[in-house]
Structure 1
Amino acid sequence: METKSTEPTEFSTPLLLSSSSRRISSSVPTILLLLTTLVAVSGSYVFGSAVGYSSPAQSGITDELNLSVAEYSIFGSILTIGAMIGAIVSGSIADYAGRRVAMGFSELCCILGWLIIAFSKVAWWLYVGRLLLGCGMGLLSFVVPVYIAEITPKDLRGGFTAIHQLMICCGVSLTYLVGAYLNWRALALVGTFPCLAQLLSLSFIPESPRWLAKVGRMERSEYALQHLRGKNADVSQEATEIRDFTEAFQQQTEASIIALFQLQYLKSITVGVGLIILQQFGGVNGIAFYASSIFVSAGFSQSIGTIAMVTVQIPMTALGVILMDKSGRRPLLLISASGTCLGCFLASLSFFLQDLHKWKEFSPILALVGVLVYTGSFSLGMGGIPWVIMSEIFPINVKGSAGSFLTFVHWLCSWIISYTFNFLMGWSSTGTFFIFSSICGLTILFVAKIVPETKGRTLEEVQASLNPYPTKS
C-alpha cells in the first residue's frame, strides 16, 4: 500500500474522547459475531495445542528417537524461534492481505508442521516441523486478538478478546489429557484437526471493518460492521468514528518498527513491551513446556499434577473472561500478578526444603500447590490481558509494525525461558522459582504505576488517549 505524507501537523486531543458516554451501537452480541469469534479462536486452540505438545510427548520422543536433554530442549524451544519468524511478518501480512488471509496462511504452516512431526524419523525433521508450527503460532498470536478486538463492541471487547487466552488454555489442557492416552505421533496428527476447522471456515466470516477502512474500502467496512452488529443496530456513529480516526492517522506515513520509538508512541510502546517482557520472564513457558518434569523433580505424581493443572487452568481463564469487562483490566492484572508471585515463591520454598532434606512428605504437595496457584493466577489475567491491551493501544497506522514488534519480543523472551529452563533447574530449582517470583513482584509495581485502564472505551478513545492525535493545522 502506498504511504501518504502531509503538511506538518499539530497534535491535539480528539473530540471523540468526550464521546465515551454516547451509545455507538448495540453491545448485545449477534449470532454472526459469536460465530465469527469462534472461528477466530480456533487459531488460539491451535496455539495452545502446540505449546502443550512438548510436555506429554517428551518421554515418547526421547525414548523412540534417543534424544538427549539438550536435543529435546532444542525441540521444545525451536517453536519459539519459528514464532519469532512468524511475528516479524505477522503485521505486514495482516495489514496488506487482511486479517482472514493472515489466519489462513498461519494454519497452512501449522498443518505442514504437525504432519512433518508426526512422520519424523530423525531429530532434525522434528525441528523442521516444530519450526513451521512456531511460524504459524507467531502469526496467530498477533492476528487473532487484533481481529477480535476490531470486530467487537467496546462493552464486549475485553471479554471476547480474552477468549483467545481461554482457547489457548483449552488447547494446552486437552493436549495434556489426550497426550496421556495417545503416542506422540498420533497426538501430532490430532493437532491438524483444529487447523483444518479454521481454514475451512474463514471464507464464511467477515473481514475486520477497521482493516477495510484502513485500505479505503469504506462501503465494505460499513457493510461488515452492520452485519456484525445486527441489521437493526445503529452503526452510524461507530462507522463515522472509525472513518474519521483512520483517515486522520492515515495522513501520516506508515510507521516502521524503528519509527515506533518516537515520542508520539512512547506510552503505548512502554505499556506493551513492559507487559510482554514481564509476562514471559515470570516463567510461564518454562512451566507450561516442562510441567511433567517439574512434578517429577518435586517428587510428585506426574499424571495427578498434570490433571490438577488442567482442572485449574480452564475455569480460572473462563472466570477472567467473565470479569474482564466488569472489573476492568488493571484490577485483574494486579490480582493475577500477585498470585503468580505467591505460586513461584511456594514452589521455590518446596525445592528449598528438599535441598535441606526437611519436611520430605510435605514438600511435594507444596510444589503442587505452588504450580497450581501460579497456573490459576496466570490464567486469570496475566495470560490474556497483555494480548487484549496490545490489540487496543496502537492506532491503525502503526498497528501492524507495533504488533509485529511486540509479538517478536514475546517469542524472543519465550525462547529464552523455554531453552534455558532445564539448565536453570539443573543449576538450582530453588533459585529458578525465586527469580520468577521476584519478576512477578516487579509486574505488580509496573501495572500499578504505568498500565492504563481500557475498560468501556472504544479503540479510538483508548488510542487517542495514549498517542497524540494528528489534525491539520
Structure 2
Amino acid sequence: MADRTYAYDPVGETGAPVNQQAYRMEAGQLWRQYVIAGIANIAIASTGYCMGWTSPVNLKLQQNGTDNPLEEPVTVDQEAWIGSLLTVGAIFGPFIGGFAASSIGRKWGLLSTSIPLFIGWILIATTKNVGMIYGGRIFWGLAIGMLFTISPMYCAEIATDDSRGALGSFLQAFITLGFLLVYSIGPYVSYAIVAYVGIIFTGVFVVGFFFMPESPFYHLKKGDRKSATESLAKIRGRSHEGVQAELDLMAADVSASMEKTATLADVFRGSNFKALYISCALVFFQQFSGINAVLFYMTNIFEAANSSLDSAVATIIIGAVQVAASLITPLVADRLGRRILLLISSCGAAIGLVLLGMFFILADNNNPVVEKMGFLPILSLVLFIVTYCWGLGPLPWAVMSELFSIEVKAVATPIATAFCWLLSFLVTRYFSAISLALGMGGSFFIFAGCCVVAFFFTLFLVPETKGKSFQEIQDILAGRTSSKTEKGLKQ
C-alpha cells in the first residue's frame, strides 16, 4: 500500500531540516503497522475467548460430574449472573484504561490489561465455588473495558491516514477469532483445559507485544521527539530521516491539542460533544441491534428450524461465519468508507431481525406455514450476523478512535466505552424477562427498529472519516474548512 506524500517545506514546523527527496524515495514497509496492530489485538482475541467462555462452559456447570468444579450445578439465577457480571467489570474498566493510556502510555496500558486477565483466569482455574467464578468474570470485564478503550486508540495512532479504518476494524475480527477458538475446543475438552488455554493465550500476548513500539503520538505528547522518531521509524520501516515529514504533521496535531489541558467539562463542549454523542449513539445501536440476544438464543433458533445439527457444531459454524464476515471489513473500510458500511450493516441487520421476528410470531401462533419455513431462521441469522460484522460490530470502535481530539481522547473514550458496556449489561441481564413479556418475535422487532434508526442516524449525522487526518476530522466536526483543503484550493 502506498503511503501519502506530504508536500511540506524542507524545514518542518519544529525547525528541524527534512530531506524531502529522501522521504519520497523511502517506500518503507507499511505492512509493519498491520503486524504490530495484529499483535496488539491478540489481547482482544483473548477477550473474545473470555466472552465466549460461557457458551461451552455453562453446559459443564449445569451438570453433576467430574467436569463441574463446583459441588452442585449452578442455578438459573447464578448462570444469569455469571453471564452478566463480565459486563459489570467492563463498565469500570474503561476509566482505568483511560488513566493508564494517558499516564503510562498506550503500550504499557495495553500490557497492564494482562494483570486482571491473569487474575481472572487463576480464579476460574482454581474455583471451588460460584463466588470465585463471579470474581473471575469481573476481573475479565475490567480487562475488556481497558482493552476496548486503549486498543482502538493505539491502532488509530500507529496507522497511516489511508489504513486507519482497516486497523480499527481489527478489533471485531480478532474478537471473533477468540469466540471461534473457545467454541471449537470448549465442548470437547475439560473445564480445566479451557482455563489453561486462556492463560496461555494471555501469555502469548504479553510476550509478543512487549517488543512492540509505543505510539509516537504519546511520545510527542510527552515532548520526547527522539523517542517518537524511533517509534515511527520502527512502525513505518523507514530511516529516522524518512519519517520526519510525517512526524511534523503528528507534532502539529499534538501541538494544537496541547494548547490547553482537557477536563471532563471539555468533553461536553463544541466539537468534542459532537464526537461524544455520535460515539455513544453508535455503541447504543451496536448493543441494541440485539447481537447478544441473538447469540444467546442461537440454540433456540436452530431448534426452531428443526436443524439436525448438534448445537455445538452449529455454534462453531456460526463462529466461523463471524470470523469470515469480520475479515472483510479491514479489507474494504478504507476503500468504501465508514458510512457506507454502517448503512449496509444497519439495513441488513434490520432485514435479518424482521425475518427472525416474523418467524417466531408465526411459530408462537402455531401457523402451519412455519413447517415450510424451516430455512428462514437460519437464513435470517446468517444475514444478521454477516451484516453486523461488516459495520455495527467493528466500526463504532474505529470511528470513536478517530472522532475524539487528542487532548480529550483519554477522558472521552472511557465514557463512551463504559456506556457501551452498561448497555450490554442491561441487554444481557434483562433480555430474558423482556422476551417473556413481549415474546421473542416482539423483542426482535424492537431490535430491528433500532437498526432502522441507526441507518438514518448514520445517513444524516455520522461524518465520513476515510482518508482524513485527525486535524481534518476535527475541522469537519467543528464545521470549518480544513487548512489542507484551503491550501489545495489555492493551488
TM-score under structure 2 length normalisation: 0.86
Which residue in the other structure is 1:409 paired with?
419
Letter paired with 1:138: G
Task: Tell me how far 1:202 sits from its aligned partner.
Answer: 2.6
Which residue in the other structure is 1:345 paired with?
354
Which residue in the other structure is 2:488 paired with?
none
Which residue in the other structure is 2:386 paired with?
376
Letter paired with 2:230: Y
Which residue in the other structure is 2:246 paired with?
238
Q: Is the 2:271–2:474 contact (alpha carbons within 8 Å) kept by the matching residues of 1?
A: no
Which residue in the other structure is 2:115 paired with?
108
Letter paired with 2:349: T
Task: Tell me how far 1:79 sits from its aligned partner.
Answer: 0.5
Aligned residue runs from structure 1 range 272-421, under 5 A: 272-296=279-303, 299-300=306-307, 301=309, 302-358=311-367, 359-421=369-431
Task: Tell me how far 1:86 sits from its aligned partner.
Answer: 0.6
C-alpha separation in 2, matches of 1:290 and 1:39:
32
Which residue in the other structure is 2:54 paired with?
54
Q: Is the 1:27–1:156 contact (alpha carbons within 8 Å) kept by the matching residues of 2?
A: no
C-alpha separation in 2, matches of 1:34 and 1:164:
12
Q: Is the 2:101–2:150 contact (alpha carbons within 8 Å) kept by the matching residues of 1?
A: yes
Task: Tell me how far 1:282 sits from its aligned partner.
Answer: 1.2
The reply to whether residue 224 of structure 1 matches residue 231 of structure 2 is: yes
Q: Is the 1:44–1:167 contact (alpha carbons within 8 Å) kept by the matching residues of 2?
A: yes
Q: Is the 1:170–1:314 contact (alpha carbons within 8 Å) kept by the matching residues of 2?
A: yes
Letter paired with 2:120: G
C-alpha separation in 2, matches of 1:298 and 1:72:
26
CA separation of 1:391 and 1:30: change in aligned 2, threshold 3 A: same
Sequence identity percentage: 28
- Structure 1, residues 88-109: CA drift from partner, whole Å, max 9, x if none? 2211111111111111111121
CA separation of 1:363 and 1:177: change in aligned 2, threshold 3 A: farther
Q: Choose 399-408 or 48-57, whichever is displaced more.
A: 48-57
Which residue in the other structure is 2:469 paired with?
458
Q: Is the 1:83–1:134 contact (alpha carbons within 8 Å) kept by the matching residues of 2?
A: yes
- Structure 1, residues 285-317: CA drift from partner, whole Å, max 9, x if none? 233345335544665442343133123211111
C-alpha separation in 2, matches of 1:77 and 1:283:
15
C-alpha separation in 2, matches of 1:379 and 1:185:
31
C-alpha separation in 2, matches of 1:29 and 1:172:
31
The reply to whether residue 183 of structure 1 matches residue 183 of structure 2 is: no
Which residue in the other structure is 1:437 paired with?
448
CA separation of 1:31 and 1:264: change in aligned 2, threshold 3 A: closer
Task: Tell me how far 1:354 sits from its aligned partner.
Answer: 1.1
Task: Tell me how far 1:33 sits from its aligned partner.
Answer: 2.5
The reply to whether residue 41 of structure 1 matches residue 49 of structure 2 is: no
Task: Tell me how far 1:83 sits from its aligned partner.
Answer: 0.6
Q: Choose 396-405 or 182-191, whichever is displaced more.
A: 182-191
Which residue in the other structure is 2:139 paired with?
132
Which residue in the other structure is 1:255 paired with?
263
C-alpha separation in 1, matches of 2:155 and 2:109:
14
Letter paired with 1:163: F
Task: Tell me how far 1:28 sits from its aligned partner.
Answer: 6.4
- Structure 1, residues 23-79: CA drift from partner, whole Å, max 9, x if none? 997786545423322220101101211121112222111224422222111110110
Q: Choose 229-238 or 337-346, whichever is displaced more.
A: 229-238
Which residue in the other structure is 1:209 paired with?
216
Q: Please give the secondary structure, in 2, of the residue aligned with 1:137.
A: helix
Q: Is the 1:166–1:318 contact (alpha carbons within 8 Å) kept by the matching residues of 2?
A: yes
C-alpha separation in 1, matches of 2:222 and 2:476:
24
C-alpha separation in 2, matches of 1:366 and 1:144:
37
Q: Please give the secondary structure, in 2, of the residue aligned with 1:397.
A: helix
Q: Is the 1:351–1:363 contact (alpha carbons within 8 Å) kept by the matching residues of 2?
A: no
Task: Tell me how far 1:184 sits from its aligned partner.
Answer: 3.4
C-alpha separation in 2, matches of 1:364 and 1:327:
35
Q: Is the 1:241–1:460 contact (alpha carbons within 8 Å) kept by the matching residues of 2?
A: no
Task: Tell me how far 1:115 sits from its aligned partner.
Answer: 2.2
Bigger relative contact order (CA 8 A; separation at least 6): 1
Which residue in the other structure is 2:92 paired with?
85
Q: Is the 1:208–1:221 contact (alpha carbons within 8 Å) kept by the matching residues of 2?
A: yes
User: Which consecutive unaligned segments of at least 5 residues does structure 2 have?
Assistant: 1-12, 14-19, 481-491
Q: Please give the secondary structure, in 2, of the residue aligned with 1:231.
A: coil
Letter paired with 1:339: G
- Structure 1, residues 210-258: CA drift from partner, whole Å, max 9, x if none? 11111221221122112211225832232112112212221212222x4
CA separation of 1:184 and 1:418: change in aligned 2, threshold 3 A: farther
Letter paired with 2:380: G
Letter paired with 1:420: Y
C-alpha separation in 2, matches of 1:369 and 1:262:
45
Q: Please give the secondary structure, in 2, of the residue aligned with 1:415.
A: helix
Q: Please give the secondary structure, in 2, of the residue aligned with 1:372.
A: helix
Letter paired with 2:351: L
C-alpha separation in 2, matches of 1:286 and 1:210:
38
Aligned residue runs from structure 1 range 166-177, under 5 A: 166-177=173-184
Letter paired with 1:240: D
Which residue in the other structure is 1:200 paired with?
207
Q: CA RMSD in A?
A: 2.3
Task: Tell me how far 1:279 sits from its aligned partner.
Answer: 0.8
TM-score under structure 1 length normalisation: 0.89
> How many residue pairs align between the two structures?
448
C-alpha separation in 2, matches of 1:364 and 1:436:
22
Task: Tell me how far 1:368 sits from its aligned partner.
Answer: 1.9
User: Which consecutive unaligned segments of at least 5 residues does structure 1 have?
Assistant: 1-14, 16-21
Q: Is the 2:272–2:405 contact (alpha carbons within 8 Å) kept by the matching residues of 1?
A: no
Letter paired with 2:149: F
C-alpha separation in 2, matches of 1:462 and 1:114:
40
C-alpha separation in 1, matches of 2:90 and 2:118:
15
Which residue in the other structure is 2:460 paired with?
449
- The higher radius of gyration belongs to 2
C-alpha separation in 2, matches of 1:343 and 1:457:
33
Aligned residue runs from structure 1 range 10-25, under 5 A: none
